[in-house]
A and B are shown apart, each in its own frame.
Chain A
Amino acid sequence: MSDVTASRTVFPAALSIWVPRLEAVIIPIGALVVGLGLFAVFLLFLGRSPVDFFALVYKAGFGTGFSWKNTLSRVAPLLFAGLCVALPARLGLVVIGGEGAIALGGLAAAVMGVWSGALPGAIGLILMAAAAMVIGGAWIGAIGFLRIKRGVNETIASLLMAYIAIALMNHLVEGAFRDPASLNKPSTAPLPDSLRVGDMPIGIEVHWGLGIGVLCCFLCWILLDRTTIGFAARVAGGNIRAAQVQSLPVGKLVIGFTALGGSMAGLAGYFEVTATHGAANASLVVGYGYTGILVAFLARHNPIAIIPVAVLLAGFEASSGLIQRRMDLPDATILVMQGIVFVVLLLSETLYGRLRIFRPDLWGGKA
């Protein structure tokens, strides 16, 4: 308690800024710890040792250079998928259909790659990224449009549209855009090497998606936190009626932010195609869009906090194979863990402003 008393005398005004920020960090971390604790109980019921489990997760996700490579290669799609949730969330919208925009964005990139095969690699890559962003942005932006023009619930609409998107992607990959040479796994035509994104020169084999993803997180943070557009979005998300009475362009903001979120998810698909798979196929739909929801909520929709959270969850996902083999647990175990953490996290949302320890007046006296 001594440093508490010390700060009481020093920074009463600054405390009213820092204490809520501390609250926003400690509550999600607390929820994560409690969620993992409950999952440990679940493991005990299965007769497995939680200690072994977490040791394995650490080893397979973060323990060695190889496991870091495995983890980091999964971070990029989680960053983009997290942004697809976090950006609309600033406007108070819960968009959970990033998976669909990833699938269609990846497909758009692959198709654009086939068409622009004769162009120089750099131009082709840019066109592919643009195609992925436009399709992803249009898909999620349409959800914003439906919300603002027709009052359609964006959560349900985005979820259902994700099913449509995935089905549409499968339909086209198995039909119009199928490479006849892809026999047992229908795919689009393989991209030439000139249209493949390579690794970053950082001494560990990780493709450029990670770097661009981190950059996008910073850019989105600047947009939300430093520009007047971000401020307007926070007002609209904080109270839509107040924003309307202030004549803020709520409709444009909603459509703009959902479209931007969708284009981020589109980029996730783009990097999966150009860096990981070399073609669009069913491998695009492995649940990054859904894990991205958990990433964004754990990061409290703060784009910079998305980065460490994405690394953590990517590590969990990277370890699922080893856990399956060593502990004889099904692949879905990691999903159970994610589900438990998510429910605890949603519960923890009710704690904001209720914990006495986070009341600035207790820390700084009556400033």
Chain B
Amino acid sequence: MMQAIGLETVGMTMRFGAFTALDNVTTRIKPGTVHALLGENGAGKSTLVKCIMGFYHATEGGLLIDGHEARVADPVDAQRLGLGMVYQHFTLVPSLTGAENLVISRADAPQVINWNTERAALDAFLADLPFQPPLDRPVSRMSAGEKQKLEIVKQLYLGSRFLILDEPTSVLTPAEADEVLSHIRALCEGGRITVLLITHKFREVRSFADDVTVLRRGKMVGSGRVADLSDKQMAEMMMGETIARAELERTGTPGSVVLAMKDAQAPALSGPKGIAIDDLTVQAGQIVGVAGISGNGQTELMEMLTGQRTLTGGQIEVKGQPFGATRTEVHDLKVRYLPEEPLKNASAPRMSVAENLALREFDRGPDGSIFWQNRRKMLRTARRRIDDFEVKAPSPHVPIATLSGGNVQRTVLAREFSGDVDLLIVANPCFGLDFNAVAAVRERLMQARNRGVAILLISEDLDEIFELADRIVVMSEGHLAFAAEAGATHAGEVGSYMAGHA
């Protein structure tokens, strides 16, 4: 029996004031298929699904469900029509078990819950599913993959027959991602649900989707069967011009050791096990990529390197000198940092762009530290850097928080990449940036490497690690589980160490 429902958008247009976020998008999602929705950030993917789910009401155009025109007033209405969505971030209650999360998510959950009958009903419901989420453990003790499965089961349990998955694998290991997606595939093939999969990973589209729709700047620029399209064609649709990403040029050979961590230990953010980095070195003209799933000690590693987390043992050396990340040491040894989420970690949001550009050297004069601010110099430098790094800001005086994400990142890059740099410590530099901004950031990093800068790149994006790193180490449960030259390993091997097996 086919329970899955088909869905079509017809000429769907969404305008916010003068801005058209979605322009006449017509697409057909056949029942019982996995349909991928591709597009870079800001292409209109979330606007489209928000229109489908009733968060927004399309300015023009409409929705057909199983061929009948449907009006979705709000997300509750969507649920009633069998449309469900799994968000990028989990919406489960961490302190409750899987079973409890499922039952309380129901709109008609009784005031007094009879757990015996509910449990029997749940077991009967789960019996037909191709996979079983853990029911008796609290969500806080589940892995990301288990939580994702529970989210999907929750939607089925609530009666969704059309499921929108918003980048469901962004928090999973490659192995977990494959497992979850193959379960989804099985559900679709069984005719139980139809899935609209928002993603930017071609590999997932290729392996798990039947059809694909590509959006660019709010317009539908391509659609078709995945089997009929090559990755290159899909990339071209997504990006517009043929900017199949040029392989970044890599020149020079690694020089002397710049950063060395030896038996460095520090307490972890949570949990009894601490962070222990036995041996990590970065040479001049080398990018060392630290791969790992978030929460395996990367935050703590960054804090150790920035002097925010006191070592309980071992040491960090830069160019052979003990390094405690004081302002003098950082300046004299030419160390720069590019933390993830620059607005949150690398700038003072309410201070101006010019002031934020000056954070590195506002207290430095020609000879040592200075007492009086030099505002004229600050503004002059700011204007130059805004030009050099093509920061789009209405004026150097506006608060940095008013800029877009890409321009905040450019501002921080302009600050950290200017002047003499010998060691660059970078964490997830491309989070939340669009395709062009990502390409620009990576190119800057590679240019710095080719100039002889030593770069430690902490990243959760395995593609980024493989694109940039000369040497790859894997961080798992607070220690380095694996190290290899980039050319001598592959994603599968690194992934298995990230997942903690092998």
Binding site for B on A (CB under 8 A): 12-13, 16-17, 20, 226-232, 234-235, 237-239, 241-249, 360-361, 366-367
Contacts and interface: CB of A to CB of B under 8 A. Distances in A.
Contacts of B327: 246-249
30 contacts: A16-B394, A16-B398, A226-B373, A228-B370, A228-B373, A229-B371, A231-B355, A231-B358, A231-B362, A232-B362, A234-B348, A234-B351, A235-B359, A238-B348, A238-B351, A239-B344, A239-B345, A239-B347, A245-B306, A245-B308, A245-B345, A246-B327, A246-B337, A246-B359, A247-B306, A247-B326, A247-B329, A360-B395, A361-B394, A366-B394
Nearest to A17: B397
Interface string B371-411: 11100000000000000000000110111000000000000
Interface residues of B, number: 34
Contacts of B6: none
B346 interface: yes
A242 B348 contact: yes
B337 A245 contact: yes
B345 A367 contact: no
B371 A242 contact: no
A245 B330 CA distance: 10
Nearest to A241: B345
B432 interface: no
Given A16-B397, A239-B345, A245-B308, 7 more contacts: A230-B373, A231-B373, A234-B355, A238-B348, A238-B350, A239-B348, A241-B339
Contacts of B370: 228
A244 B308 contact: yes
A346 to B, nearest CB: 17
Contacts of A361: 394
Interface in B305-349: 306-308, 325-327, 329-330, 337, 339, 344-349
Nearest to B348: A238
B363 interface: yes
B348 A228 contact: no
A16 B308 CA distance: 35
Contacts of A239: 344-345, 347-349
Contacts of B398: 16, 360
B360 interface: yes
A232 B363 contact: yes
B91 interface: no
Nearest to B415: A246
A367 B394 contact: yes
A235 B363 contact: no
B369 interface: yes
A72 B101 CA distance: 64
Contacts of A242: 345-348, 359
Contacts of A247: 306-307, 325-327, 329-330
B7 to A, nearest CB: 38
Contacts of A229: 371
Contacts of B369: 228
A232 B306 CA distance: 17
Contacts of B344: 239, 241
A281 B204 CA distance: 77
A364 to B, nearest CB: 8
Nearest to B326: A247
Contact of B363 (A13, A228, A243, A367): A228
Name the residue among B330, B347, B369 with the largest chain A CB count within 10 angstroms: B347
A242 B408 CA distance: 13
Contacts of B359: 235, 242, 246
A60 to B, nearest CB: 39
A16 B425 CA distance: 34
A226 B369 CA distance: 15
A248 B306 CA distance: 11
A248 B331 CA distance: 11
A170 to B, nearest CB: 41
Name the residue among A238, A244, A361, A366 with the largest chain B CB count within 10 angstroms: A238
Interface string B165-182: 000000000000000000
Nearest to B370: A228
Contacts of A238: 348-351
Nearest to A248: B327
B464 to A, nearest CB: 21
Given A228-B369, A241-B345, A245-B306, A235 B395 contact: no
A-B pairs with the 3 shortest C-beta distances?
A: A238-B348, A228-B363, A16-B395
Contacts of A12: 395
A243 B360 CA distance: 10
B397 A13 contact: yes
Nearest to B329: A247
A234 B337 CA distance: 20
Nearest to B360: A246
Given A235-B359, A360-B395, A227 B373 contact: yes
Contacts of B351: 234-235, 238
A129 to B, nearest CB: 25
Name the residue among A12, A230, A249, A367 with the largest chain B CB count within 10 angstroms: A367
A13 B391 CA distance: 16
B394 A245 contact: no
Contacts of B360: 246
Contacts of B355: 231, 234-235
A360 to B, nearest CB: 7
Nearest to B363: A228
A245 B349 contact: no
B307 A367 contact: no
A230 to B, nearest CB: 8
